[in-house]
Amino acid sequence: MKLVVAMTEVEGSTVLHCKGRLQFCEEAAVFSRLAHGVLDAGKNLVLDLSGVEIIDSSAVGDLVLIYMRACASGKEVRIAAPKHRVLEILELTRVSSLFRIYSTVDAALGWFPELAQAVDSTSITA
């Protein structure tokens, strides 16, 4: 299944809801461009990986680059709801040590004073 990314704006932050396979090729490139664009716009980012079936080494590399971009821009990236298989890859590669990982998107958005309410949603298919 190709990667589908839906973007939701929440109180100055963005959630990228990902579904499918996050792997080399166009899927990873679209995901990476969106994440970098959010950080370049000065917003914190939550990566909702609840719908991601598997990630490969290219996607792991993209996560490291996203983390580095966040650090350089003074923003934070959090990972929400990764499936067991995805979490195992993040832990095996030690990429999990770079991010705060939460069981739900709401928990990842917990630093906001209000409940997360979608202001604008956009879907993009790679």
pLDDT tens for 57-100 read 989 999 999 999 999 999 999 999 999 999 999 999 999 999 99
The secondary structure of 41-60 as a DSSP string is: TT-EEEEEEEEEEEE-HHHH
Q: Residue 57 belongs to a domain with what CATH number? A: 3.30.750.24
- The reported pLDDT for the residue numbered 111 is 62
Q: Total domain count for the chain?
A: 1
Query: Minimal CA–CA distance to 48: which of 12, 84, 8, 1?
Result: 8
The pLDDT score that the predictor gives to residue 12 is 80
pTM (global) more than 0.75: yes
Q: Give the integer Cα–Cα distance in Å for 100 and 86.
A: 15
Alpha carbons 73 and 53: distance in angstroms, whole number:
29
Tokens 């664009």 belong to 37
Task: Print the domain residue range for 23.
Answer: 4-125
